[in-house]
């Protein structure tokens, strides 16, 4: 989807971005731009990673939050600030509160994992008060806005604020500084609300417009993609919130109008591919990333041959991954790669039926990872939920052939979303 409008002028001023960089000195790190040999060999291009996961709060969010808060008038600072977030933005605001000596009230959904809440308190110390409310981000966001208005305190928006966008834009300055002799041919960056994308693309369009820029969104939350496609701000009715750092129902007003003029394309990445990428980075490289942080690297698999031999920069936006999500990440990755399949199988209610299935149907490298069966009285057959993990994707068709050969009565669940969600 080509979206760049050649005649449009950037909405973010370079002068403001340079000022933001000065404010951030000693606060946000100039993170490394690392050449990644393995990924380069794997995809046939020169892959460089912008490691924003190495920031003090383990994401780029400190840049925008601090720049916004450092720009406040003294009277505003004395009143304290308010924000709503379920993760990285809250940590960035908390860090900035302590650094600047500004009191902050941070609204987070009541269902936010304790690990994330504790990290916000750790970064903010005595300067922040965490309010847990509602079941969703939208609930917390609504209460935060109401509190901000009633108390007359500045609201620190996670993305739809020019000072926040200018802070995130400093990522772009650093990339160009670190590869001045050979700027990237392609830049891949994640999109959530659009603050990072709006800032970095604005810098590139003014300093090195030749670079192609592809924004990367989770397929289950394509808010920017749909907005640019429909040429208006779109609020999605339903999203898959798994890539929580980039899953929003609606992007910002500022970010939409900037990105529609600065992005060349938007790529939508299946959540399963994101999970597979997280596991690959951890197992092969020892790099820990959160789902949103894996988006740009996951996009490398979809590039094809167009960028062979070219210089590609991927922004790794964060590493605040909750360890309790590991099993879900593994499950989604296996499903996406075609290595795990669920079936409803109708077994004869007699002794030896399961043994026959194991001996005749299951392949030598196949593994049953889930089996749920309750014997029914006065029935000839009973249904079982069976999960089977394969060693190779190609083994699936052979498994189905053996099931058909031995007249197994079964129904696949992977391609039946309603049944899959109900039973698995």
Distance between CA 136 and CA 295 in Å, rounded? 23
Closest of 95, 115, 114 to residue 104, by C-alpha: 95
Residue 13 burial class via C-beta count within 10 angstroms: exposed 0-12, middle 13-18, buried 19 and up: middle
* Pairing verdict, β 340-348 and 409-412: antiparallel
Closest of 382, 378, 376 to residue 353, by C-alpha: 382
- Please give the distance of CA 196 from its chain centroid, rounded to a whole number: 13
The two tokens of residue 27 are 């606060």
Distance between CA 350 and CA 84 in Å, rounded? 57
User: Of 61, 99, 119, 340, which is the active-site residue?
Assistant: 61
User: Of 85, 296, 317, 319, which is the active-site residue?
Assistant: 317
User: Does the active-site annotation cover 4?
Assistant: no
Please provide the DSSP assignment of 232-263 as one string: S----S---TTSTTT--SS--HHHHHHHHHH-
Q: Does the CA dihedral 165-168-171-173 come out positive or negative? A: positive
Q: Which residues are catalytic?
A: 61, 317
């Amino acid at each position: 989807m080509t979206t760049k409008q050649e005649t449009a002028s950037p909405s973010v001023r370079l002068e403001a971005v340079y000022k933001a960089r000065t404010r951030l000195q000693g606060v946000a790190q100039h993170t490394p731009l690392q050449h990644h040999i393995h990924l380069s060999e794997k995809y046939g291009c020169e892959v460089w990673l912008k490691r924003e996961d190495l920031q003090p709060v383990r994401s780029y969010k400190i840049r925008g939050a601090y720049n916004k808060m450092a720009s406040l008038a003294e009277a505003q600072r004395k009143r304290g600030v308010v924000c709503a977030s379920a993760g990285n933005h809250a940590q960035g605001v908390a860090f900035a509160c302590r650094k600047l000596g500004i009191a902050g009230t941070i609204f987070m959904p009541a269902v936010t994992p304790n690990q994330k809440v504790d990290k916000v308190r750790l970064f903010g110390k005595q300067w922040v008060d965490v309010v847990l409310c509602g079941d969703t981000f939208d609930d917390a966001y609504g209460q935060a806005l109401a509190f901000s208005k009633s108390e007359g305190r500045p609201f620190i928006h996670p993305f739809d604020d020019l000072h926040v966008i200018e802070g995130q834009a400093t990522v772009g300055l650093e990339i160009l500084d670190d590869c001045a002799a050979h700027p990237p041919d392609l830049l891949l960056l994640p999109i959530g609300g659009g603050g990072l994308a709006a800032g970095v693309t604005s810098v590139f369009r003014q300093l090195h417009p030749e670079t192609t820029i592809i924004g990367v969104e989770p397929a289950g939350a394509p808010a920017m993609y749909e907005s640019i496609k429909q040429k208006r701000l779109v609020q999605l009715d339903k999203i898959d919130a798994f890539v929580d750092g980039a899953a929003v129902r609606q992007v910002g007003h500022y970010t939409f109008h900037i990105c529609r003029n600065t992005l060349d394309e938007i790529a939508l990445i299946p959540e399963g591919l994101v999970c597979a990428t997280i596991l690959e980075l951890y197992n092969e490289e020892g790099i820990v990333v959160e789902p949103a942080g894996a988006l740009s690297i996951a996009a490398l698999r979809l590039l094809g041959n167009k960028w062979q031999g070219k210089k590609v920069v991927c922004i790794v936006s964060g590493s605040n991954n909750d360890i309790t999500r590991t099993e879900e990440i593994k499950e989604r990755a296996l499903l996406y790669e075609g290595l795990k399949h669920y079936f409803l199988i109708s077994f004869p209610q007699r002794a030896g039926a399961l043994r026959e299935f194991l001996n005749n149907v299951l392949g030598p490298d196949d593994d049953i990872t889930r089996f749920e069966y309750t014997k029914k009285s006065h029935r000839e057959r009973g249904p079982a939920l069976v999960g089977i993990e394969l060693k190779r994707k190609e083994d699936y068709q052979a498994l189905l052939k053996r099931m058909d050969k031995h007249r197994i009565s079964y129904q696949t669940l992977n391609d039946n979303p309603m049944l899959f969600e109900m039973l698995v």
